[in-house]
Structure 1
Amino acid sequence: MGAASHADDPQTPPPPAAPDVAQILRANYLSLALLIAKRLLIATVLVAIPVAADRLLELDSPFVMVFTVAGVGVLVLTVHRLIYGIRVSQCARVLRTYPLEFHPRVLKKRERWTQYGNVFEVRVTTRGQHGAPLMLAVNAAGRRRWPEGAEEGVWLAGDLPFGGVMVVRGGKGMFFLKPADWDKTARKREEAGAERLAQAQQAKLTHRTKRAVMMRPGA
C-alpha cells in the first residue's frame, strides 16, 4: 500500500502530522479498561441487589432473583466482548509492522449490529488510485459508535488486500480492518511481492478472519 502523492498536486494540502503510535495504543487500552470496568461494576451491582434485599429488607421473593440473572448475563457478555470483540493487541502488531499513511477520505457504506459489537463497511480511498476494496471495520476498544471526524480523513497502517488498522484523526478512534470479500481480493494478494507478503505475515494478516472474531455472520 503506497502513500498518496501530494507533491505533484499543488492544490492538495499536505497531510496532517502523523499521530504517535504509543499514544494511540495507550488511549485505546484505557478506553478498553474503562469499558470492561463499567460492565463489571454493573454486573456486580445487579448480583448484589438480591443479597442486599434479603439482608436489609428481609425481602425473599423469586422476582428479586431476576437481578442476579441479569448480572450474570452482563458478565457473560462482557467476557464475550473481551474475547471476540477486542482488537487492541492485534492492532498493535499491525502498527509495529506498517507505517501510518494519511488518506483524505473514508466512506461509511453501512453498519451492522452484532452481539459482539458493530461492524462497519467502509471504503478508504486514495487520491489518484482506483478500485479500493470494501473493508469491514471493527472498533478496537469495543465501542459501537462510528467516530466523529472520520469523513475528514483517517490514518491507515497495513495493506488493504490483507487488512490493517484505521486511526481517526486525534488518535482516539482505532479500527481493525479486513476485506469485506476475502475471496474477491485473493488475486491482489497473490500478485503482492515477497516484501508485501512478508510484512502481512509479520502482522498476521494473511489469513481469513474467523466469523466469531470478526463479529459478523459469514465473515
Structure 2
Amino acid sequence: MTERDRRRDDLVSDTPPAPYATDGTDFGGAVRYHYGVALKKFLKFFPVFLLLWVQLFVLHLDYLLPVAIVGMFGTVWTLFLLADRLSFTRKCSKVFRTYPLEFRTPVEKYGMESTHTLFLRFGDQGGTPFTLRAKHALGRGRWPAGITDGVWFAGDEPFGGAVIVPGSGELLFLQPRDWAARDEDRDSAGPERTEKAGRAGIKRPARR
C-alpha cells in the first residue's frame, strides 16, 4: 500500500450518530433518512442556482449573462446530484427488501478512488476472497467511521448487495470490483439465487 493509499484510508466520515436504529432492525428508517438528506441538500442549492439563471430572462440585462451561466450549470449539476443520490438509495432499498440483513465482520479497507468509490473485503469470506466496490448512497467519498468493526449486509456477494454501517447508519451499495472475474460464481449460483438477484437489482453491473 502506498503512502497516498494510507492517507485515503485515514479519510473517515464525521457523520453524527444516526437518528434511527442501525442494528439491522430498521432498514426502512435508514432509507427514508437518506432520501430526506438528498432532498434537503438539493433544496439548499437548487433554488439559488435557478434564480441566478432565470433572472437573465426576467430582467433582460446583458451584464447578468456570466451570472446566468453559473446558475445554469449549477442547476444542472444539482439535478444530477439529486438523481444520483436518489438512485443509489433506491438501489439499496431494493436489496434490503429482497435479502435479510446479516452482520459481517471484520471489514477490510482495500482502497479508494477519486470518484468517491471505496473498495473493501469481508474478512469472513470463504474460499478466495474478492474485492467489492462500494458507493455511498449520498455520494460521500470518505470511509464511514467504525466500518472495519463490521456492517449489516444484505445481498449475495457474487452479485453484490448493500450495507448499513452501525452507528452512523450510512448506506453503501456494493458490487464486485471485477464483475467479469465472478462470472463463474454467478453461473453456478442456480436459478433461485439468480432470480432473487434480479429482483434486488444486482443481477447486472450497475453504473459506476
Which residue in 1 is equivalent to 2:164?
A: 167
Within 5 Å, give how 1:1-219 maps onto structure 2: 17-44=23-50, 46-47=52-53, 62=63, 64-85=64-85, 86-114=87-115, 118-126=116-124, 129-170=126-167, 172-209=169-206, 213-214=207-208
Do the aligned partners of residues 181 and 23 (structure 1) sit closer, same or farther apart at CA in structure 2, a change above 3 Å counting? same
Which residue in 2 is equivalent to 1:217?
A: none
- Asked which structure has the greater CA Rg, the reply is 1
Q: Is the 8 A contact 2:50 2:71 kept in 1?
A: yes
Secondary structure of the equivalent of 1:122? strand
Q: Is the 8 A contact 1:24 1:171 kept in 2?
A: no
Deviation at 1:196, TM superposition (A): 1.7
Output the CA distance in 2 between the equivalents of 1:193 and 1:201. Answer: 12
Aligned residues: 186
Output the CA distance in 1 between the equivalents of 2:49 and 2:108. Answer: 37
Deviation at 1:122, TM superposition (A): 1.6
Q: Is the 8 A contact 1:19 1:170 kept in 2?
A: no
- Per-residue Cα deviation, 1:7-30 (whole angstroms, up to 9, x for no partner): xxxxxxxxx942311111111111
Secondary structure of the equivalent of 1:170? coil
Instruction: Point out the more displaced range, 183-192 or 78-87.
Output: 78-87
- Percent same amino acid at aligned positions? 29
Deviation at 1:144, TM superposition (A): 3.2
- Per-residue Cα deviation, 1:75-112 (whole angstroms, up to 9, x for no partner): 11122223345311121111010011111222222222
Output the CA distance in 2 between the equivalents of 1:132 and 1:45. Answer: 51
More helix by share: 2
Output the CA distance in 2 between the equivalents of 1:45 and 1:151. Answer: 44
Instruction: Point out the more displaced range, 19-28 or 155-164.
Output: 19-28
AA aligned opposite 1:98: Y
Q: Is the 8 A contact 1:133 1:160 kept in 2?
A: no
TM-score, L = length of structure 2: 0.77
AA aligned opposite 2:91: Q
Q: Is the 8 A contact 1:103 1:153 kept in 2?
A: yes
Which residue in 1 is equivalent to 2:8?
A: none
- Per-residue Cα deviation, 1:58-78 (whole angstroms, up to 9, x for no partner): xx673x533222221121112
Deviation at 1:159, TM superposition (A): 0.5
Q: Is the 8 A contact 1:121 1:137 kept in 2?
A: yes
Q: Is the 8 A contact 2:24 2:164 kept in 1?
A: no
Q: Is the 8 A contact 2:23 2:166 kept in 1?
A: no
Which residue in 2 is equivalent to 1:13?
A: none
Output the CA distance in 2 between the equivalents of 1:107 and 1:77. Answer: 33
